[in-house]
Structure 1
Amino acid sequence: MLDELLAAWISRQRWFGGKGRAIDSLSIESDVVIDADDPGLRHLIVSVWQGASRERYQILLGMRTELPDRLKHALIGTHGPYAFEGGPEYPEWYLYDAVHDQALTRWVLECMAEGSGWGTVRFRHLPGVTIDTTPRSLVLGAEQSNTSLVYGDAYICKFFRRLIPGVNPELEIITALALHESPNIAKPYGWIETDLDGTPTTLAIMQEYLSTANDGWDLALASVRDLYGSTPELSAADAGGDFAAEAHRLGVATAHVHLELAGAFPTDVIEAHEVKRMAEGFRRKLGRAVGEVPELREHVHTLEEAYHQVEELTVEVPVQRVHGDYHLGQVMRTPIGWVVLDFEGEPGQPLTERRALSSPLRDVAGMLRSFDYAARHLLADHPEPESLEPRAAEWADRNRRAFLDGYAEGGGVISSTDAALLRAFELSKAVYEVVYEARNRPSWIPIPLAAFRR
């Protein structure tokens, strides 16, 4: 009965990765009671089978004999009879997603402050930190793949809904950079873990909540709107809300983070024959993309030429730990500077790939693509996008240059040899974006296609 309730409910959640496909079965792999009261709290790990594919998900299951109106939107269903060990049996319980219940999410702070554990679920905090257990929680509503709780203006705790055995790359990176006293990350406080397949696995991470910070994407879009709303004779530099100074500062901060990562983790180099294999990987992705999106076909020559230039490189390429999914939505502007968030890498990739050493130019390329997206985002559904295309190109070029100048000033190195690799990274990212938009937002395809005309 509980399995069926959870299967029906989980298929409707936006963080569920198997939407659009039938669930063949759901089984409860782990069931840990954290609060045996009314309300009660259980930590579940469930296995969801769809065909031959199995995915694991984390659920905080709340249980009440009466459900207040404020929690009805989180209802999973009713179930009973049931009794917690040593407690009375009730004929019916309301089951719900407990991340929305402030009476139960207090356990996260209390257990993390104590460094305690409940069965196989372990709460940990960093040495020397003090955690205030009094703030009440609020669920952030914008996330797609995880669920984050904000506690007052002090903490943000990100729960990973889909679980992959192993330590999350973000936890590895932010704890390492915190030891190096990096000013460019949100301070980590603690985490929750368990064991999956005999491997310590990250369930949640808690960091400083940047309550006075502004999202990089929102700031960039505000600048673009100011430009589009100004008189046509004004340049991007003269229109109100010019973003170039911030793009420059972001470039400096990005270089500093790369230097900090190189100091905190092992580094290496890849030789010329490995660089050629990288170019071959770009080319294979292009072949698959052209088969799916015919609009790419006219740009194949441009892409092949860029990938060939990488194949011609005869130098070693430095590699290190990188962000892996870097764009304007992953950075926040605080009163004292830029802070980088979400060091998970690409969530859909295996942990081994997300931890793998790569060229820092991969992050640089990701941010350059993000500037193009910010410039052209408002053109996607515009009735006359051609009229604004020159202004979009001007804004993107100005901020791309400012970012690269800042990156160099901050100690990031982009040599003439690196330029070929950077262009290949950027164009390969644009190929990925074309496929994504074709599948999800066809009217947005012109945004990444513009990259091939640069």
Structure 2
Amino acid sequence: MSDSSAPRTAPARLPLADAPQGNALLRSLDGLLSRWLPGQRWFAGKGRPLGGLTLVSATELTPCTAGGQHPGLLHLLIRTRPADGDGTQAPPSGDCYQLLLGVRPALPPALGPALVGRPTEGPLRGRAVYEALHDPRLAGLLLERMRTPGTLGTLRFGRAPEAAIPAGLPARLLTGEQSNSSVVYGDAHVLKLFRRVSPGVNPDLELPLALAAAGSDRVPAPAAWFEAVFPGSGSKAGGGDAPEPLTLGVLAPFLAGSTDGWQLALQSLGHRTDFTSASHSLGRATAEVHTALAAALPTDVLRRPQLEQTATGMIERLTEATAAVPALRPYRAGLRRGYEALASYARRGGTCTVQRLHGDLHLGQVLLTPDPRGRGSHWSVIDFEGEPARPLTDRRRPGPPVRDIAGMLRSFDYAACQHRTGGPWVEEWSRANRVAYCRGYAEAAGTDPMEQRELLLAYETDKAVYEVLYEARHRPAWLHVPMAAIRRLAEPAG
């Protein structure tokens, strides 16, 4: 996905990536990073013993080993090695993480919390190494680098031909994200940096670019991006000679003044106000995105063998979940009916169109932006990365649109369960907004998801079963939220 408009190739500064310097760099950082990585909110290996680290690539975006008081900016790709026999499902080769490290002779007090450590050997010996995104100066230097297409060592920078990216924008790191990191530049752009990376174009770059090319105004169009390409970086795209790139970051317009759908839903519940109009327009927005993706990218049709296999996979996940969460067991037979109805639908000749999807659609992934002219508001859809815990190949696989729809319907239930008193009014709020969302979708798409009964029921049930397993393992206090849906979905009427 690199930019084709007259890229400029910069001289590579790679002394830190070459042996023996690369080995010396890794030795000097290994202990520091092994202690620091497990404490980061985006580190996926929590609870797994860390066997060691492998340096995949190192690139100086600004000099790190030279003398002077100017901070250096070091880009690393590090592969973790799981400990032998740790009993987990970690990839045998470990996960690959993107790190951006600042290097200074002395660290200002304001950057103290970002300190990784001080190497006692190697090319960075005695210098302060820290998380660079906390440093507005280095975050600003990264933006300046992204304004110019070209290459620097293993890194390749691309830019949309017509994108306007102002220089000198102040940088601030956002907090609260779990799987990635984001930096906002002024009120103009936001840079999303993927922390755990793998070969292949990330859907959060691929799909917004396709939607922008199709003229969709529902998704902020990428302004710039960068990726890593080097020998042995991954499988070869299309069977050619070039390895697939690793998408590292995407710069997109920052929708200042927007509020995400989750916060709006909670406000509606807190003030007992109607939200169905917003849900209806959100359904229309979802349908417009699906329609544009289907027109821009290949689609396919699932027939009896594939749909029966889908139902079988759902039953297997239910069996695994009931073994792990005893609270599910009384509802197992009722939930199976939904999956068996999908298999019966397939045996009757039913089919299902599949296409590229958002993959993790919920109220937190949509933004409502007021029209500055006072002519209503506009829904935008963001974060097309999919579920970060799933392999990239799975996240890029086409699926039925009802999978996204089911995710949003479950999100209405989750919002309703945040209301402190609960009761019939809250249940009616969720039901009314689910119906309004589906009706808005039907008006824009021409197909009503509520009439695709077998598909919608199966995918919503599969999502709720996943939620039960997740909450039981990670947030037991939230288990009642998906269990309320489980009781409803297990009823004979579905």
The alignment's TM-score, normalised by the length of structure 1, stands at 0.91
Please report how far the alpha carbon of residue 21 of structure 1 lies from its aligned counterpart in structure 2 after TM superposition.
Answer: 2.1
1:452 alignment counterpart: 486
Return the match for 1:60 from 74, 79, 100: 100
1:34 equivalent among 49, 58, 61: 61
| 1:53 to 1:378, Cα distance in 2 relative to 1, 3 A | farther
Q: Secondary structure at the match of 2:57?
A: strand
1:268 and 2:300 matched: yes
Change (3 A) 1:301 1:42: same
Distance change >3 Å, CA 220–CA 211, structure 1 → 2: same
Contact 1:82 1:92 in 2 (8 A): no
1:418 and 1:31 map into 2 onto residues whose CA distance is 51
2:262 match: 217
Taking the aligned partners of 1:407 and 1:17, their CA distance within structure 2 comes to 35
Counterpart Cα distance in 2 of 1:298 and 1:129: 56
Pair 1:246-2:278 in alignment: yes
Partner Cα separation in structure 1 for residue 208 and residue 449 of structure 2: 29
More deviation in 104-113 or 67-76? 104-113
Seen in structure 2, the aligned counterparts of structure 1 residues 416 and 91 have a Cα distance that, compared at 3 Å, is closer
Structure 1 residues 415, 21: CA separation in 2 closer, same or farther (over 3 Å shift)?
A: closer
The Cα shift of 1:58 comes to 0.6
Partner of 1:354 in structure 2?
395
**8 Å CA contact 1:32, 1:44 repeated in 2:** yes
Instruction: Report Cα offsets for 1:326-380 as digits up to 9, x if no partner.
Output: 100100001141000111111111122111111101011000000000001235x
The equivalent residue for 2:110 is 70
Q: Give how far 1:416 is off.
A: 6.9
Deviations 1:201-242, CA, capped at 9 Å, x for gaps: 100011000111001100001111122xxxxxxxxxxxxx31
Contact 1:111 1:117 in 2 (8 A): no
Give, in whole Å, the separation in 2 of the partners of 1:39 and 1:452: 54
Are 1:200 and 2:234 counterparts?
no
Aligned letter for 1:35? T
Report the Cα distance in structure 2 between the residues aligned to 1:155 and 1:209, rounded to whole angstroms. Answer: 4
Pair 1:249–1:415, CA change in 2 (3 A) = closer
The residue matched to 2:45 in structure 1 has which SS? coil
Counterpart contact for 2:133–2:173, Cα < 8 Å: yes
Deviation of 1:415 (Å): 6.2
Aligned partner letter, 1:338: W
Three-state SS of the structure 2 residue aligned to 1:134 is coil
Report the CA distance between 1:80 and its aligned residue. Answer: 4.9
Q: Does 1:181 align with 2:208?
A: no
1:302 deviates by 1.6
Question: Take 2:47 and 2:308, find their aligned partners in 1: how far apart are those partners?
Answer: 38
Deviation at 1:91, TM superposition (A): 5.9
Specify which of 345, 354, 369 is matched with residue 386 of structure 2: 345
Q: Cα–Cα, structure 1 residues 82 and 49, in superposed 2: closer, same or farther, change >3 Å?
A: closer
Offset at 1:272? 1.8
Separation in structure 2 between the aligned mates of residue 312 and residue 118 of structure 1, nearest angstrom: 56
Q: Any gaps of 5 or more consecutive residues in structure 1?
A: 84-89, 228-240, 380-384
Question: What residue is the counterpart of 1:317 in the other structure?
Answer: 352
Rounded Cα–Cα distance in structure 1 between residues aligned with 2:93 and 2:203: 23
Q: In the alignment, what sits opposite 1:400?
A: 434
Q: Cα deviation per residue 1:410-454 (whole Å; 9 max; x = unaligned)?
A: 125136761111011001100000011111111211111111333
The code of the aligned residue for 1:18 comes to G
Pair 1:417–1:252, CA change in 2 (3 A): closer
SS at match of 2:147: helix
Task: Report the 3-state secondary structure (helix = DSSP H, G, I; strand = E; otherwise coil) of the residue aligned with 1:377.
Answer: coil
> Cα distance, 1:106 vs. partner?
1.9
Aligned length: 428
> Could you say if the C-alpha distance between residues 301 and 68 of structure 1 is closer, same or farther in structure 2, counting changes exceeding 3 Å?
same
Q: CA 1:437–1:134 in structure 2 vs 1: closer, same or farther (change >3 Å)?
A: same
| Greater shift in the superposed pair: 247-256 or 190-199 | 190-199
Provide the residue aligned with 2:4 in structure 1.
none
Contact 1:81 1:93 in 2 (8 A): no
CA distance in 2, matches of 1:184, 1:200: 27
Amino acid across the alignment from 1:259:
T
| Range with greater deviation from structure 2 (326-335 or 101-110) | 101-110
Amino acid at match of 2:102: G
Letter in 1 for 2:201: V
CA distance in 2, matches of 1:317, 1:12: 43
The alignment status of 1:373 with 2:400, answered yes or no, reads no
Residue aligned with 1:167, SS: coil
Specify the code of the residue in structure 1 equivalent to 2:257. Answer: T
For residues 180 and 97 of structure 1, what CA distance do their matches in structure 2 show? 38
Alpha-carbon contact 1:75-1:96 (below 8 Å) kept: yes
1:334 paired residue number:
369
Taking the aligned partners of 1:396 and 1:266, their CA distance within structure 2 comes to 34
Shift of 1:134: 1.3
Deviation of 1:82 (Å):
6.0
1:187 positional shift: 2.4
Runs of 4+ in 1 over 6 A off after TM superposition: none
CA drift at 1:393: 1.0
TM-score (norm 2): 0.84
Q: Does the Cα contact within 8 Å between 2:419 and 2:426 map onto a contact in 1?
A: no
CA contact (8 A) 1:186 1:339 kept: yes
Which amino acid letter does the alignment assign opposite residue 295 of structure 1?
A
1:281-333 C-alpha deviation (Å, 9 max, x unpaired): 11000000000001101111221111111011122211111111110010000
How do 1:31-180 residues align onto structure 2 when only pairs under 5 Å count? 31-36=58-63, 38-51=70-83, 52-80=92-120, 92-180=126-214
Q: Find the aligned partners of 1:412 and 1:330 in 2 and give their Cα distance.
A: 24
Match of 2:44 among 3, 8, 17: 17
Describe the shift of the 1:417–1:311 C-alpha distance in structure 2 as closer, same or farther (beyond 3 A).
Answer: farther
1:70/1:266 Cα in 2 relative to 1: closer, same or farther (>3 Å)? same
Aligned to 2:31: 4
Aligned to 2:225: 191
Distance 1:392 1:416, change over 3 A: closer
Task: Say if 1:82 and 1:93, in contact at 8 Å, map to a contact too.
Answer: no
Calculate percent identity across the aligned residue pairs.
Answer: 44
**Runs (5+) with no aligned partner, structure 2:** 1-27, 84-91, 235-242, 371-376, 489-494
Distance 2:384 2:486 in 1: 28
Q: Give the stretch that moved more between structures: 33-42 or 369-378.
A: 33-42
Moved more, 146-155 or 334-343: 334-343
Query: Which residue matches 2:289?
Result: 257
CA contact (8 A) 2:450 2:456 kept: no
Which residue of 336, 356, 378 corresponds with 1:304? 336
